[in-house]
Amino acid sequence: MPQALGQAVKFHQQGQWNDAERLYREVLRESPRDFDALHLLGVLKLQQGEPEEALRLTEAALEVDTESAALHSNRGIALASLKRHDEALTSFDRALAIDARNPGTLCNRADTLCELGRLPEALSVYDQALALEPRLVSALVNRGLALRDLGRPAEALASYDKALAVDGNDAEALNNRGVALRDLGRHDEALASYERALTLRPNHVDALFNRGNVLLALKRPAEAIVSYGKALALRPAFADAYNNRGNAQAQLGALDDALASYDRALAIDPRLRDVKVNRAGVLQRLGRFDQAIAGYLELRAETPDLPNLAGDLAQCHAEICDWPGVAAARAPLLDTVAAGRPADPFALLQVDSTPAQQLTGAETWLRTKKVSAVARDWNRAEFAGGKIRVAYLSADFHQHVTANVLAELFERHDRNRFEIFGISYGPDDGSAMRSRLIKSFDRFFDVSARTDAEVAKLVRDQKAHIAVDLKGHTRDGRIGIAAQRAAPIQVNYMGFPGTLGADFIDYVIADEIVLPLEQQPFFKERIVHLPDSYYVRDTTRQGAPLPPRHQWQLPDEAFVFCGVNNSWKIGAPIFEIWMRLLQEIDRSVLVLFAANPFAVGNLRKEAATRGVDAERLVFWSHADLPQHLARLQLTDIFLDTLPYNAHTTATDALWVGLPVVTCTGATFPGRVGASLARAIGAPELVTKDLQEYEALALKLARDPLRLQSIRQKIERNRATHPLFDTDRFRRHIEQAYATMREIWQSGESPRAFAVEPIER
């Protein structure tokens, strides 16, 4: 070897790459076809991240000697770096034809097969390499990657562990080990693996990104944001990190920040579908429905079968009372369910769907979300005797409508027979309601930073007999807690008026009106009937003094129809009836909620289209409950909606004596009004179809004496009938819980039953 070449090799080995390159090129100026100089300079260029120059040099060397296995292998590495994988594979095959027992070349060939998507072949080649060199860390690590891509995370983990047994300080193996552990749901171990990798390589971008992902899975979004930030500081064009940072920000409720993160991701790569989905979802949560709809329509044009797209569109159009948009979205939504594709179960409740469609939708949703039951063995002897322990699970234990409904029930539970736990996975808003709720439970646990598995274990550790899911398939619901079998008996109540479609939910609490037993085939849960109404109310909340009409934009002499319900519940058929009522009743107005400016604009436009002066629509903004109860007394008739009735808003109306004209629908959410009216002793307010509904509302509006009589009856019945007798309700739901425990304690499977009325 010439002296200059020898010195170049020495510099190369010592990492003095600039000096090595200078001498290699000096040799090539003297001898342009020097094989060793061409080959070794090509290797150096690979090390310096210049694959195109490396390829040029190795091909020049091949003109000198075509039988060098190492040269063919290095050419393959250069081609692979240039994403020319088929050509790279040919080079590796040529190298192996010369030297079939080179483990490094075999590993490179397997890596290329992975890039080509030929994973089973790649595994076989990794095994060949490892048979020759069992301690080849790169083969063990990359074999693990292939196994993970094949959906075999446990085997991938074993491969990473073998690599770490050879070199415990291999940061890449530690990072990938963390990914496999996360796939297996072992999040704490995954986090420890990432932390170890980052101790060794603090600037390991992928480990920082993956650490953020597992922190997000561990319900630690603030820490996840920090980890994503560090990754982005090192790799500013890391679109996935921006996307996941946006997810963490959205989880914290920082929606504007989340939107900015999604926008950064799309600026890097406008094609990222998941980012577009997340961005549209945040726009929807921000109430920017026009932009959300535009985003969903763009996604539909790109990917018509995108999961839940039809449901998202239907919900957005419904929120702004864009009824042509709702109609256009309904058919695709139901088609999605029929095709076995996922659609948000809550969106299905909002459109005119059947019980069978709602069941199919809920089951499909769970399968798509990969929510399945974890079997538990229970020692019934540990649960025998003593108090019945009930855990209520919700994200709404703060100033929220669910809290307003249930707070008194929690306070009234019989502590001689029951022990009541509050399991809160929502925010602490520091409100008076939050403080009241904490005091209402025997034990209260803030589990917002715990995983589903951790929360379920906590409930099991408390030896709860019954876990009551108050959210179901609504926003912020965490049905995965129940999937982990938090308690031997699990119940769907209040939050989601439909089936959860889950084998691991044993019962649904209802009544014979909202959920007749003939609908049992469409519910996974066994139906439990309470004797009056399944609905309860906090009767300690009182209204403010009666305000003057002008304070709430009501004309002094006007007859006031009231439709203060969520805007998404108002559909075209109901609104047309309301407009005809305004036309029939002189000087009448209709009060609605000003849910968002889009809904206000569309409702005014729809009124004008039907020949009604848009000024006869009065829009109320949000008010606290005492003010809201007071202003409701200024109205004359509450008009219910269909296919999804008013629920809490209807109890508000009845609480102040306001008659609620309702129509009985085909499914649970459309039958609540009938349940409430009968429980207050006013069954005459319940109609069987929209024609009868319109006729009754018109009749009452034209008969002030009859209307006043009903109003007075409701006011009297408030003190004597079951709807607002919270202690009566408490006795009935406690008997339901006691029966559930008896059934389970006897070893019997869950079964439907009805609670008989219990007098004092």
What pLDDT band is residue 43 in, cutting at 50, 70 and 90?
confident
Q: What does the pLDDT read at residue 659?
A: 98
Q: Which residues of 419-430 are buried (b: 16+ CB within 10 A; e: fewer)?
A: bbbbbbbbbeee
The pLDDT of 578-582, averaged and rounded, is: 98
What pLDDT band is residue 52 in, cutting at 50, 70 and 90?
very high
Percentage of residues of the chain with pLDDT beyond 90: 84
Query: CA 592 → CA 16, 326, 557, distances in Å?
Result: 77, 19, 18
Q: Are strands 660-663 and 466-469 parallel, antiparallel or unpaired?
A: unpaired
Q: Which residue has the tokens 């449901």?
A: 311
- Examine the pLDDT at 6 and tell me if it is beyond 90: no
CA distance linking residue 106 with residue 112, whole number of Å = 10
Quick one: which H or E segment has residue 466?
strand 466-469
Is the pTM of the predicted complex or chain greater than 0.75? yes
Taking only the tens place, the pLDDT of each residue in 349-384 is 999 999 999 999 999 999 988 888 888 999 999 899
What pLDDT band is residue 397 in, cutting at 50, 70 and 90?
very high
The pLDDT of 18-37, averaged and rounded, is: 86
Quick one: which H or E segment has residue 212?
helix 205-217
What pLDDT band is residue 307 in, cutting at 50, 70 and 90?
confident
Contacts of 42 (CB under 8 A, 6+ apart): 53, 54, 55, 56, 57, 58, 61, 74, 75, 78
- Examine the pLDDT at 698 and tell me if it is beyond 80: yes
Q: Are strands 660-663 and 637-639 parallel, antiparallel or unpaired?
A: parallel
CA distance linking residue 265 with residue 270, whole number of Å = 8
The pLDDT of 687-707, averaged and rounded, is: 98
The pLDDT of 443-454, averaged and rounded, is: 94
Percentage of residues of the chain with pLDDT beyond 70: 100
Q: What does the pLDDT read at residue 34?
A: 86
Domains within the chain, CATH numbers bracketed: 3-228 (1.25.40.10), 249-368 (1.25.40.10), 380-530 (3.40.50.11380), 549-724 (3.40.50.2000)
Taking only the tens place, the pLDDT of each residue in 524-563 is 999 999 999 999 999 998 888 999 999 999 999 999 999 9
Whether residue 324 has a cis bond before it, omega within 30° of 0: no
Q: What does the pLDDT read at residue 30?
A: 84
Comparing 148-152, 247-251, 275-279, the range with the smallest average pLDDT is 148-152
Q: What does the pLDDT read at residue 720?
A: 95
CA distance linking residue 206 with residue 203, whole number of Å = 9
What residue type is assigned to position 277 of the chain? V
Taking only the tens place, the pLDDT of each residue in 623-654 is 999 999 999 999 999 999 999 999 999 999 99
- Examine the pLDDT at 257 and tell me if it is beyond 80: yes
Q: What does the pLDDT read at residue 58?
A: 87
Strand, coil or helix: 469? strand
What pLDDT band is residue 305 in, cutting at 50, 70 and 90?
confident
What pLDDT band is residue 286 in, cutting at 50, 70 and 90?
very high
| DSSP string for residues in 550-596 | GGGT--TT-EEEE--S-GGG--HHHHHHHHHHHHHSTTEEEEEE---
Q: What does the pLDDT read at residue 301?
A: 93
| CB 396, CB 473: distance < 8 Å | no
Mean pLDDT value across the chain: 94
Strand, coil or helix: 535? coil
Q: What does the pLDDT read at residue 7?
A: 87
- Examine the pLDDT at 2 and tell me if it is beyond 80: no
Written as six digits, the tokens of 188 are: 């704490």
Taking only the tens place, the pLDDT of each residue in 111-132 is 999 999 999 999 999 999 999 9
What pLDDT band is residue 482 in, cutting at 50, 70 and 90?
very high
Q: What does the pLDDT read at residue 54?
A: 84
What pLDDT band is residue 12 in, cutting at 50, 70 and 90?
confident
Q: What does the pLDDT read at residue 663?
A: 98
What pLDDT band is residue 39 in, cutting at 50, 70 and 90?
confident
